[in-house]
Amino acid sequence: MLTRRKLLGNSLKLSAGFALSARAFADADVTITLKLRDENAVRVPTNFPGFGYEMSSVARLGLLSALNSRYVNLIRGIGNAGVLRVGGIVADYTRYDSNGTIIAERQNTVITHEGLEQFAAFLGRIGWTAIWSVNFAQGTVQDAVAEVRAVSAMLGVRLEAIEIGNEVENYGRGEKSFRKAPYEYETYRKEYKEWHAAIASAVPNIRFAAPDTATSVEWVEHMAHDAKGDVQLLTTHYYRNGQKRGSADQLLFPDPRLKDILVRLRTASKESGIPWRMCETNSFSGGGLPGVSNSFVGALWTLDFMLLLAGYGCAGVNIETGINQLGFISSYSPIQDDGKGLNTAGVPYYGMLAFASAISGCDEVLPVDVDTQGANITAYVLGTGGKPRSVAIVNRDATRDGTLSIRQLGMANASILRLSSPAADSTVGVTFGGASVDQDGVWKAETRELCQSGIVPVPHMSAAILRATP
């Protein structure tokens, strides 16, 4: 349950149409002025957005399929370019058998030629690329070579990179560990080098993503330092917490450990010249926290999280979705599945949708000074060539409304799309631009406000995307 001062339950109601009086906005608790700093902008790749899947999702026929028009539309709604990452813990229990029998189970998945063919057609339809994981935990290097040959031949230019292993620093842990403990980085690196050499020899010019750690930034730093052309993308995972230790407050307020993580990842990337990607991430591991991850709070967290990572130089974010390693649909999933072939937009999808609107036509996060006067509000300026084109403001304060001034950005005229919900804990009724994603997986704004004064009200527990207009 949402517990923040007992206001994030039934009492925190948002104005569905934001038709509040001028007097109400005049009494807003905090006024925020955005001003650009004289610093270099941070580049944002066009394929920044992404979704993450357990390997079993690729095995299922009809899911990630070019014939699944709803799913195609849902992904296209997030961007014309992006990356799907397939792997997860299920990758540790997956094998490729070209002419075998398809199996999509959490500890026994079989990918076939037919499954690969379906996935390749799906990627072609959405126009995205994919990171593909091989079974480093229980497979053999010979198995991996055969699988990568097949995957590369089928996906072609849609294959972004190969991952050797999943959450590799955990291989020596647990009751049923995959490696003898202690399993240290040096041992992993030696194994990685052997697998990399065999795969690269069999499939020349293929790209690799590594080390794909669960939480270890140190292993990413070591990999960045040791890379000698055998890693083209640094990868790691992040969850705010485990499901059993999760709470609404953890999605409303900054993770105290996250800034240090992002600074270290950015530094490792800059020093090595290798981009880094958060290739598996979401709110709470274990499928999310029902009633929180799939609530409006989850949508606001998703939007802010993606913007934050972009500002720290992340090359992309793969938001985990669908069937998890435990065999059920995660509550945090941006794309939901009723188990009968019907895919719909989950509440976190609206956070991704708002991010897509903010980044559209932009390739930079611009450095900006923001004084929120202690309110739980974040703001980001995006643009191109150093010129602002859009602003994203996320107000996760429980009680304080905000008034945003964008006059100093040269954006006196702007259109506004609002991310809103009946209440902070709503799991239905979430809209962006006054509209929900329709039954075909398509979203189109119904209400687009115009701002000609450079002053924009942003009520508590809401977000807004401002786009510059002539």
- Could you list the residue range(s) of the whole structural domain that residue 447 is in? 4-41+363-468
- In what helix (H) or strand (E) does residue 149 lie, and over which residues does it extend? helix 141-155
Residue 261 sits in the same domain as residue 286:
yes
Contact 246, 198 (CB under 8 A): no
pLDDT tens digit string along 156-167?
999 999 999 999
Three-class secondary structure of residue 151 per DSSP: helix
Total number of domains in the chain:
2
Compute the distance between CA of residue 431 and CA of residue 438 in angstroms, rounded to an integer. Answer: 11
Q: How far is CA 245 from CA 64, 97, 215, 236, 240, in A?
A: 32, 39, 16, 21, 10
Compute the distance between CA of residue 229 and CA of residue 401 in angstroms, rounded to an integer. Answer: 50
Contact 34, 405 (CB under 8 A): yes
Q: List, in order, residues 6 or more apart from 429 with CB less than 8 Å away.
A: 421, 422, 436
CATH assignment of the domain containing 21: 2.60.40.1180
Residue 333 sits in the same domain as residue 432:
no
Residue 162 sits in the same domain as residue 248:
yes
Residue 410 sits in the same domain as residue 312:
no
Compute the distance between CA of residue 301 and CA of residue 285 in angstroms, rounded to an integer. Answer: 15
Contact 42, 311 (CB under 8 A): yes
Q: How far is CA 463 from CA 3, 302, 311, 380, in A?
A: 20, 11, 18, 12
Q: Tell me what pLDDT residue 175 has.
A: 86
Contact 217, 261 (CB under 8 A): yes
Compute the distance between CA of residue 203 and CA of residue 196 in angstroms, rounded to an integer. Answer: 10
- In what helix (H) or strand (E) does residue 154 lie, and over which residues does it extend? helix 141-155
Question: Which residues of the chain carry a pLDDT beneath 70?
Answer: 1-28
Residue 340 sits in the same domain as residue 379:
no
Structure tokens, 112: 């076939």
| pTM for this entry | 0.93
Q: How far is CA 182 from CA 89, 142, 174, in A?
A: 20, 25, 11
Structure tokens, 348: 């976190």
Residue 37 sits in the same domain as residue 53:
no
Residue 162 sits in the same domain as residue 244:
yes
What are the φ/ψ torsions at residue 139 (nearest 5 degrees)?
Answer: -85, 180
Query: In 156-257, where does DSSP find H-type helix?
Result: 185-202, 217-226, 249-252
Residue 155 sits in the same domain as residue 267:
yes
Domain ends where: 315, 335, 359?
359
Residue 81 sits in the same domain as residue 224:
yes
Residue 81 sits in the same domain as residue 105:
yes
Residue 129 sits in the same domain as residue 148:
yes
> Side chain identity at 114, as an amino acid letter?
E
Q: Tell me what pLDDT residue 12 has.
A: 36
Q: Tell me what pLDDT residue 410 has.
A: 87
Q: Tell me what pLDDT residue 233 has.
A: 98
DSSP designation for 323 = B
Contact 428, 421 (CB under 8 A): no
Query: In 313-402, where does DSSP find H-type helix?
Result: 347-359
Contact 362, 311 (CB under 8 A): no
Compute the distance between CA of residue 132 and CA of residue 113 in angstroms, rounded to an integer. Answer: 15
Contact 417, 358 (CB under 8 A): no
CB neighbour burial string for 282-317, b if at least 16 within 10 angstroms, e if fewer: bbbbbbbbeebbbbbbbbbbbbbbbbbbbbbbbbbb
CATH assignment of the domain containing 276: 3.20.20.80
Domain ends where: 317, 341, 359?
359
Q: How buried is residue 23: exposed, middle or buried, by Cβ count under 10 Å (0-12/13-18/19+)?
A: exposed
Residue 102 sits in the same domain as residue 71:
yes
Domain ends where: 342, 359, 376?
359
